Structure 1
Amino acid sequence: MRQIGTPHPRLPLPPAGGEDDMADFLAWLGEAIPMVPALGIREMARDGDSLAWALSLSPSLNDKGTGFGGALTAQTTLLGWCWTTLWLRRQGLARDVVVAEATQRFLAPVTSDYRLTCEPAADDAPAALAERLAQCGKGRIALVQRLWCGDTLCLEARGDYAVLPAS
C-alpha cells in the first residue's frame, strides 16, 4: 500500500533506443497513482508525437449523466504528465515531471465514451526541451490535450510540464 511522502519505485527505463510497452506503463501508472484504475482508461497508444487514451465515460459521470469536469481535467493533466514522462524515457532519462500550469476550455458535453489526445503545442517543442535539458538540466514543454466524443471536440486543455533537475 502506498505511503504518503514515500515515492513509488520508478519503472526501469526501456532498452537504449527502445520504447515503453504501453500496457506495462499503464499498469505501473495504476500502482504509482492510486486513482488511475478508477479513471476508465481502456487503451493507451502513441502515434508519432501524439499520445492517446481511449476512455469509458461511466467512471466520470456527473449528476447530469455527462462527463464531470473535475474528472476530465484530472485526466487531461495526467495525460500530459504521461506524454512528458514517456518522451523522457525514450531519451533514456528517468526524471521527475510536474505540471506547472494548466487550463481547460469546455466546448461541448461529454455524452459517451471518448478519446483524449496529447501533443506538443508547437512542432519544435520536443527539440527545444531536449536543448534546454542539455544546457540547463531542467526544462518545460507546452502540451495540448483534446477530448473527442466521436468527431465532436468537447474539451481542449493546455498545460506546461516542468522537467526537474536530476537529483
Structure 2
Amino acid sequence: MNLPRQPGIPHPRLPLPEGQPEDLAAFQQWLSEAIPMVSALGINEVSRQDDSLTWQLALSPNLNDKGTGFGGALTAQTTLQGWCWLTLWLRERGIARDVVVAEASQRFLAPVTSDYRLVCTPALPEGPAQLANKLAERGKGRIALIQQLYCGEKLCLEANGSYAVLPSR
C-alpha cells in the first residue's frame, strides 16, 4: 500500500532500467505516485521514438468552464512532459539525477476541443549531444525542449522550456 506523499520528503527514485528498454507503463505508475496530480491529467498512452516523447490525453479531465482545454492543466502537462523527456533520456543512459524546469512559456494557438496528443522534442537537433557534453565536463547541464499539442492535425498549443540536470549530491 502506498502512503500519501508528505511535503518536504522526496519520493524514492524508480530503479534504473539497467540496460533494458524503459518500461513506460511502470514509469507512468511511478510518476503518478511521485507526483499525485499526474493521475488526474488524463494521460492515456505514453510512447517514445528517437528523440520524441508522445502522450495521448483525454480532454474530459482537463475541461474549463467553456468546455475546452483548461490552460492551467495544459501548461502543467507541457511542463511535466519536458521533465519526463529529460528524466527518461538520463535513465536511458544509466544516470539517476534530479531534473528541474528552469524556464517555461506557452503560446495558445487554438482551443483544445477533443482528445489530443502532446509531443516533446529537443528545440535543437544537437541539444542532446550538447547536454551529454556538459554533463561529462561539468556534471550538470540544460536542454531546451519544445512541446506541441495537437487536436488531430491542428496545432493548438506550443510550449518551450529549459530543463536543468542538477549536479549529483
How would you bin the TM-score normalised by the shorter chain? over 0.9
The residue number in structure 1 matching 2:60 is 58
Unaligned runs of 5+ in 2: none
The TM-score, its normalising length taken from structure 2, stands at 0.97
Question: The residue matched to 2:143 in structure 1 has which SS?
Answer: strand
Structure-to-structure mapping, 1:1-167, within 5 angstroms: 1-16=4-19, 18-167=20-169
Equivalenced residue count is: 166
CA root-mean-square deviation: 0.5
Unaligned runs of 5+ in 1: none
Taking every aligned residue pair, what percent have the same amino acid on both sides?
A: 70
Question: Which digits, 9 at most, give the CA deviation of each residue in 1:23-76, with x for residues without a partner?
Answer: 010000000000000000000000110000000000110000000000000000
Question: Which digits, 9 at most, give the CA deviation of each residue in 1:119-157, with x for residues without a partner?
Answer: 000000000000000000000000000000001000000
- Cα distance in structure 2, aligned partners of 1:63 and 1:2: 30
User: After the TM superposition, which parts of structure 1 deviate over 3 Å for at least 4 consecutive aligned residues?
Assistant: none
The TM-score, its normalising length taken from structure 1, stands at 0.98
- Cα distance in structure 1, aligned partners of 2:18 and 2:142: 25
- Cα distance in structure 2, aligned partners of 1:125 and 1:102: 17
Q: How far did residue 19 of structure 1 move? A: 2.5
- Cα distance in structure 2, aligned partners of 1:90 and 1:111: 35
